[in-house]
Chains A and B, each alone.
Chain A
């Protein structure tokens, strides 16, 4: 951004000494004149110039003014310019222009070259007066002078300036004045005037060159973005019908920045990295990182390094919720031939992987690399910070990987490592409550419920109860401990702390708790309230995406219908179950949970073959879902046919491999052994089942995320 305040004072950059003064084909040495000026003999200097170069008094003064200005004697220059009646000079020029226009009566005519010369001289003098005032810190007066340059120009060139009409010197002065005026208003603190000066610069015809225009557009965009002064909409006169008119600062800034980026793509201006950064700030502030991504994709090759571009694009897509796209980009940038050790890219990739158990192993590798790599170009603080993040994400990835592992041994190893990583991360970032939360979830998943409970409480305290997920974790842990009434108290407290629209997940929890407490009518009541909430939400929000916490709090209508179906099946109200299942199936066609509920209904009605079909289908859709496996096994073990017994035994063993602490699995395995006559084995299994506590939460801990 051009800030004249920051610019060097003219004395330093003035390396070029004025050697001579020229006019009308004659030249004279500058130092002679300077000597007279230094001695204070301004009039003598004037007259010697007039004689030597055959100039008028005004011309001579303009020359001296410029000489003084260029020598850095700003006050001297100002004194000289004050001596010229610039007002009268511009008026003369204007009347000349008027006469010209009147005489020829041709609107597109411009002043003749002679009058242009005079105009150039006068306008330059006023411009330098304005610059002098600026340098003396009199921004307001400077702005007034600068404005008069533009006013006069507009009067002289009533149809705007076009390329062929003016000489270079005049054009330079006009362009500089156009660029200077808004800066002066800004320095003087007159922001509304600055905005109209910017608009005047950009919406009138000044015949600015591309670079100058781009600079003004950028400066205006920055001003609109950061000044905090709300600009009124551009005036109607500047609007072409049908063209887009921004209605506030941010829109106008984004429009200007987008145009600037486009100008570069068309080769009209040179690349300015700060334009893209400003655009990136503006668009991420308004949640439009996908638009930013599009712009980055369209930048010409050779401007941004490809790795940089991939990484920024990945952030854009991840910010817009398209994590898969982001991950693919990161895989490219982290390839061993690119920049495999870029810490932020590694961390983002690991974080994305940590959300999917099938990607978790890949994430572990990224996180490990990030934890060992030394962050380039950052201080020790940042390094410490990034290391903590890396270990944290490593823990999350390991925990997720544990879920997908096929052997019990492998799983417990991964779980232990996950906990260890999270604990190391917590020691690196002692004040980060997210780690407390993740530790709570991990302990809960591993059924260290009392430890988990402590972490959940600590998390709620550390966040002042402001995070809904903390409340839900606490309630789920209590439910896993079979302390349903306490869980209900927590849920109610959380509902109290939550605004109506965000109550969805808590209400679902509450309904399930009521089911667990065998209070079916209250559960139904809660479910119907939840359903009404969802429908109202859909009506009032429509398709507009909300950015607040509400986004992840939206409860699927499907889950409500499934919950109700489950509830009715417990009550053996099969007609109702069927209705609810139908509703749920409309929303989600292929769902293992629905098939299981349907299976239970069929089983209860005695249609065992059909029930088995449903169970098996559900099992095939989600082979690692243990309750589903147990349903199949339980049904098989009840059948008379001898052939089904070994099948039941084998899949129960599968279930126990996945979840060795599952009480039901042990129980049914015991039954199979008993029916087969292996009494000792059966006794072992029953004993295992009796020793295990029921420790499942009412809904999975992962539902919190």
Chain B
């Protein structure tokens, strides 16, 4: 099961991405300060300078030490219960509707969802009571997303490129018959409100929370994404025996299978989009790239186990794209000038 030791990866420095929200008005500043004060009662290691900083919510989001402490608290075996203070704080903070504070909660989604799904899968139905704290936070995220999109499904159009588009070179106006046939793809089906987590809806609720995470991913610190990669590996549950002399049974107790969860498409799809960002996103980071590639390989192996054609295609393509992106022969800098023996004016 998920251990409670703080993760080494979480202690490295976080890299802020370029999207920095503007300062919040003073009313929400006091809200943020109140919230952090509550947190400092739960997490003693919060530095006092945090409260006085100009943008405490942003500081909290990107402070590696505080985040590592919170993460390790969330990884404790008893962390997800209904009376857990930290879960309560996360729930209340998210409900505060302050977008900056909400980001802080979303930042911890990988640990929450990761611990939650793995524990729910391994401890069976008895998990119900001990995971109520996690469930409350996840339901809050789910409800937020439900309201944000008014319960509607998310669809996208797949264009028929025999019809003109803004990126077509010939800007000839379309002929009279401009009934463009579009393929409509459902990315995420309609959402119905849920007051409790019914076990068969568990995957969907976490999946929607992951969709929310993905929509904020450019504002997430690296550590959070690293945590996601780590739990993805666990979710896939691909046992990788270290030594060759293992005889099935020995591995059963090993860490290989711990944390494996059912991976329906509703979880797989947002998870793969997140991994795609970690691998191919604009802020290239070698450590994150490696972690995400590892997770993606595990998902690929799992997709083969489940013979899930869509997931095999998606993970396979992502892995090949990742490989090509680091291949020096695909990284010729075309913006470099031609170096010539003689320079003419």
Contacts and interface: CB of A to CB of B under 8 A. Distances in A.
Interface stretch (A439-447, A498-506, A691-699): A498-506
Contacts of A316: 309, 313
B266 interface: yes
Of B320, B335, B336, B341, which is in contact with the most chain A CB atoms at under 10 Å from its CB? B335
A335 to B, nearest CB: 21
A254 B225 CA distance: 25
Interface in A226-243: 226-230, 234, 238-243
A6 B286 CA distance: 11
B256 interface: yes
B270 to A, nearest CB: 9
Given A70-B343, A186-B282, A243 B168 contact: yes
Given A319-B313, A462-B124, A544 B324 contact: no
Interface in B132-169: 153, 156-159, 161, 163-168
A259 B318 contact: no
A243 B160 CA distance: 11
Contacts of B306: 434
Given A22-B344, A545-B186, A242 B313 contact: no
Contact of A189 (B17, B123, B173, B328): B17
Given A18-B343, A281-B321, A466 B307 contact: no
Contact of B163 (A55, A244, A465): A244
Contacts of A131: 335-337
Given A188-B18, A281-B321, A496-B198, A180 B121 contact: no
A618 interface: no
Interface in A326-351: 326, 344, 347-348, 351
Contacts of A281: 272, 276, 313-314, 317-318, 321
Contacts of A14: 339
A535 interface: no
B26 interface: no
A246 B159 contact: yes
B201 A7 contact: no
Most buried by B among A21, A228, A258, A280: A228
Interface stretch (B5-13, B29-37, B50-58, B234-242): B234-242
Given A63-B345, A382-B301, A464 B120 contact: yes
B307 A351 contact: yes
B38 interface: no
B345 A347 contact: no
A228 B277 contact: yes
Interface string A460-479: 11111111100000000000
Interface stretch (B81-89, B91-99, B107-115, B212-220): B212-220
Interface residues of A, dominant DSSP? helix
A565 interface: no
Interface residues of A, number: 147
Interface stretch (B39-47, B60-68, B69-77, B187-195): B187-195
Given A7-B336, A121-B345, A464-B121, A499 B201 contact: yes
Given A188-B18, A234-B166, A288 B312 contact: no
Interface in B306-332: 306-307, 309-314, 316-318, 320-321, 324-326, 328, 330-332
A386 B125 contact: no
B186 to A, nearest CB: 6
A264 B132 CA distance: 54
A244 B168 CA distance: 9
Contact of A464 (B164, B199, B335): B199
B1 interface: no
B158 A254 contact: yes
A114 to B, nearest CB: 14
Given A250-B187, A431-B256, A22 B342 contact: yes
Interface residues of B, number: 113
Nearest to B244: A380
Contacts of A121: 345
A438 B280 CA distance: 38
A254 B265 CA distance: 20
B78 interface: no
B180 interface: yes
A30 B339 CA distance: 14
A433 B165 CA distance: 47
Interface stretch (A215-223, A636-644, A651-659): A215-223
Contact of B185 (A20, A172, A228, A286): A286
A285 B269 contact: yes
A499 B192 contact: yes
A21 B313 CA distance: 54
Contacts of A283: 158
Interface in A75-122: 121
B181 to A, nearest CB: 11
Nearest to B248: A427
Contact of B218 (A229, A289, A498): A229
B333 interface: yes
A128 B306 CA distance: 53
B186 A547 contact: yes
Contact of A501 (B156, B192, B251, B273): B192
B282 A430 contact: no
Nearest to B18: A189
B125 A393 contact: no
A189 B120 contact: no
A176 B337 CA distance: 8
B307 to A, nearest CB: 4
Which of B122, B187, B343 has the most chain A CB atoms closer than 10 A to its own CB?
B343
B252 A277 contact: no
A5 B328 CA distance: 12
B222 interface: no
Contact of B165 (A69, A255, A502): A255
B262 A547 contact: no
A222 B280 contact: yes
B279 A6 contact: no
Given A244-B163, A382-B301, A546-B186, A463 B309 contact: no
A525 interface: no
Contacts of A382: 301
A283 to B, nearest CB: 7
Q: Specify which of B174, B199, B277, B336 lies most central, judged by the most chain A CB atoms within 10 Å of its CB.
A: B199
A703 interface: no
A23 B344 contact: yes
Contact of A462 (B122, B189, B198, B316): B122
A572 interface: no
Contact of B330 (A234, A274, A463, A549): A274
A20 B341 contact: yes
A249 B203 CA distance: 25
Most buried by B among A14, A241, A246: A246
Name the residue in B120, B185, B237 with the highest tally of chain A Cβ atoms < 10 Å from its Cβ. B185
Contact of A431 (B168, B260, B272): B260
A242 B194 contact: no
B200 interface: yes
Contacts of B333: 2, 4, 7-8
B343 A22 contact: yes
A624 B252 CA distance: 41
A243 B173 CA distance: 7
B326 to A, nearest CB: 7
Given A20-B343, A259-B167, A434-B305, 16 more contacts: A7-B332, A19-B341, A131-B335, A225-B276, A227-B218, A255-B159, A259-B168, A274-B325, A288-B158, A429-B305, A431-B256, A464-B199, A467-B200, A467-B262, A546-B186, A547-B189
26 contacts: A2-B333, A7-B333, A14-B339, A20-B341, A53-B345, A186-B282, A189-B19, A228-B216, A240-B166, A244-B163, A246-B166, A251-B156, A251-B157, A255-B165, A274-B320, A278-B317, A281-B314, A285-B187, A286-B158, A312-B313, A315-B309, A347-B307, A433-B262, A464-B120, A466-B262, A499-B201
Question: Which 9 A-B pairs have CB atoms at the shortest separation, nearest pair first?
Answer: A189-B18, A431-B257, A461-B124, A319-B309, A465-B199, A228-B217, A7-B333, A244-B165, A464-B120
